[in-house]
Amino acid sequence: MKDSDRTAASLLDDEAGFSLKPVGTLKKRKTADITASPVGVGFETLDRQMFNHEMTYEHLATLGAKWARCQTGWSRCETTKGEYDFGWLDNIVDKLLVAGVNPWFSISFGNQLYMPDAPHVSAVGCMPLYYGEETVQAWKNYVKALTEHFKDRVTHYEVWNEPNISCFWHGHEPSPEDYTELVKITAAEVKAVMPEAVMIGGAVSGCGFSYIERMLQAGVTESIDKITFHPYSMVPELGYANAVAYLKKLVAKYDETIKLWQGENGCPSVSAGHNDDWLGIFNNNETVQAKWVIRRVLSDLRHEIEFTEYFHIADLMEQAYRQADGTERKPVMMGLLNGKTYTPKKSFYALQTICSLFDSATVREELLIQALFKDARRPEMVHEKARFTNIVTDSYLRNGYPLYVYYYVEDPQCETPVTQLPAMWIGAKGAKQLDEPVLIDPLTGNVFAITDYETRPATEWEAQEFGLYLHDLPLTDYPLIITDRKALAGVDSISALE
């Protein structure tokens, strides 16, 4: 679906009673034109050839996500003992770079050449340390050869994938101590070739509190620069603030320089016929997925996680999905692209908007934003429905202008209708004033002029240098963004609605 085909698809366009005037749709920048960004996209499972990567690069070049996580696949790189063929991975890395995307490697899984009991040729989850000295040495040789081959193109190396669950840990019960040993020997080989490499550990399923703590106790911080976690949930905000705060505090006890990365997280676009029923799915569709993507990325940015990845660029259905037990599983339908046609879903366009707005030029900043259920202009009015919603607010600076984010939290599967927010206060100190306030709907990229607002003098806002009192705004179950039209000039622009 082209942008011009979806300009009339906004959930806000058909809603009456809002102080909004449609002015256009946000133009998106090409990925190569974005200098840096905290947002990445999943490019995993090519060790098992589960999607057609050749069909994705054209879309990646326009998405705006600057990073792609690739599993290196020892079993696919070494099919004869001691001989390495990185041609398939060269093709992927080079085409990602051309699209403006930085590949980062997840060095993952085993090799049947050294692990005869591996249930499948991909040896998913087969841990080298459990197969004797020859296998350990073969793993070291592979890691060294991999790093040597890609040292001029790949700077970030993660060790394994979800070692804390049996789905990806074959041979023994998951052991943070054994995993830490694997990290240490892997990091040593990478650093011997490339001392400046960024080493990443963890990759835990969920938030993995006790697993990460035991990993830290075993000395993993001696070998890594980042810790990744995969906090899958159909409600991205559910318990997330406390979980992130706890993890940050836990990691800081051992090394304050190590940052958290949200290294893998996705949402299906269908309700049935896929591998991820365990998420608690009852009403998924493309719109639900698109809302979820916006909420996931902005939740990570709100909690100042250094990097956030959406899993995955495409539905995984070209080959049977296999985990450590080798059995065939249902497809993974979390892609931004349809796995049959490789055409963008609604979630692709939603993430495209977020990538354009929340690159490295946008920084989180605590500014004044207060949602109100009574309008000072109409003190007798109290919005009965909105009174019971749990509203999330956040704020950023872009090119010196404030960006305000707000929405209410419910499971996006509930598809709660748009409602009305009677009023909102926004203000800032040390930021440019909003002279042309606009509201951006990231679900569609549509931009609306805010037509009903008052400028309040600084004396009414205490430490704020300016303030606006806004009337009759939409309130949705996904983030809406308020900023000044000039905040978009020179980087993003607005095209006329068609």
On average, the pLDDT of the chain sits at 92
User: Which residue type does 260 have?
Assistant: L
- Confidence grade of residue 497 (pLDDT, cut at 50, 70, 90): very low
Is 3-27+363-495's fold the same as 36-357's?
A: no
CATH class of 36-357: alpha beta
State phi, psi for 415 to the nearest 5 degrees. Answer: 45, 50
Separation of CA 490 from chain center: 26
- pLDDT for res 133: 98
β-strand partners of 105: 70, 157
Q: Structure pTM? A: 0.95
SS3 129: helix
Q: What percent of the chain has pLDDT over 90?
A: 82
Residue 489 has pLDDT above 90, yes or no: no
pLDDT of residue 59: 98
**Tell me, what's the pLDDT at 11?**
52
The pLDDT value recorded for residue 388 is 60
Reply yes or no on domain 3-27+363-495 having CATH 1.10.3470.
Answer: no
Which two structure tokens, joined as six digits, stand for 430? 């040390």
Q: Which structure tokens are listed for 271?
A: 């309700």
Whose tokens are 């240098």? That residue is: 465
CB 475 within 8 A of CB 420: yes
Whether 470 contacts 376, CB under 8 Å: no
- The one-letter amino acid code at 233 reads S
User: Taking Cα atoms as reference points, which of 133, 134, 110 lies closest to residue 122?
Assistant: 110
CA distance 264 to 112: 26
| 8 Å CB contact between 123 and 167 | no
Structure confidence by residue, pLDDT tens digits, 63-84: 999 999 999 999 999 999 999 9
If you search the block for the tokens 């054209």, which residue do you land on? 58
How many CA atoms lie less than 13 Å away from 289 in the CB half-sphere?
Answer: 26
**Whether the predicted pLDDT of 286 surpasses 50:** yes
Which pair of structure tokens corresponds to residue 232? Answer: 């899958």
Could you tell me the two tokens for 64?
Answer: 């705006």
Give the integer Cα–Cα distance in Å for 44 and 51. 9
For the chain, the domains span 3-27+363-495, 36-357
Q: CA 387 to CA 221: how far, in whole Å?
A: 46
Per the structure block, which two tokens stand in for 223?
Answer: 């070998």
pLDDT at 496: 47
Higher pLDDT, 286 or 494: 286
- pLDDT digit string, tens, across residues 6-57: 333 455 654 457 889 998 899 889 999 999 999 999 999 999 999 999 999 9
Alpha-carbon distances of 219 from 25, 180, 216, rounded to whole Å: 50, 7, 5
Q: What is the pLDDT of residues 177-197, one digit of tens each?
A: 999 999 999 999 999 999 999
Query: If you average pLDDT over residues 340-346, what whole number do you get?
Result: 98
Q: Provide the pLDDT for residue 381.
A: 65
**Which pLDDT band, with edges at 50, 70 and 90, does 4 fall under?**
very low
